[in-house]
């Protein structure tokens, strides 16, 4: 087992692009760990790409909520989630503010856990 595999099987290797299979709290926390471990420009491009994938999953959730005509509060939840993920994306890709992005990802993960 690689030293980059942390307790719970979280893969913190920063030198690879990782598949993003959902937009849940565990995914957001793992992404935060990889952002912290990212040293070079290419690694940050990988993280930005992974955040793009989180955004796509959120967009799918929003689309499904709208399609089934979910309660307005549910649709608004997905809209706010989408906006926050885009803000985090920009923190990495535009502002180059890794620390704030990590904090925001962890806060978002906690928020999602509380809402569950």
pLDDT along the chain (116 residues), means of 10: 48 86 95 94 94 97 97 97 97 94 97 89
Q: What are phi and psi of 5, to 5 degrees?
A: -85, 115
pLDDT at residue 9 in the model: 58
Give residue 2's pLDDT: 41
Spatial CB neighbours of 47, under 8 Å, sequence gap ≥ 6: 14, 31, 34, 35, 38, 92
pTM of the model: 0.88
Handedness of CA 35, 41, 47, 48 (dihedral sign): positive
- What the block records as the tokens of 56 is 């796509």
The predicted pLDDT at position 10 comes to: 64
Tokens of 20: 């993003």
């Amino acid at each position: 087992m690689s030293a980059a595999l942390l307790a719970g099987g979280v893969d913190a290797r920063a030198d690879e692009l990782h598949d993003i299979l959902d937009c849940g709290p565990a995914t957001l926390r793992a992404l935060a760990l990889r952002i912290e471990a990212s040293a070079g420009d290419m690694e940050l491009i990988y993280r930005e790409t992974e955040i793009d994938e989180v955004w796509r999953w959120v967009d799918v959730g929003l689309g499904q909520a709208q399609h089934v005509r979910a309660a307005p509060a549910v649709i608004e939840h997905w809209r706010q989630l989408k906006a926050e993920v885009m803000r985090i994306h920009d923190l990495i890709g535009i502002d180059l503010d890794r620390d704030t992005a990590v904090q925001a990802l962890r806060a978002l993960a906690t928020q999602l856990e509380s809402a569950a």
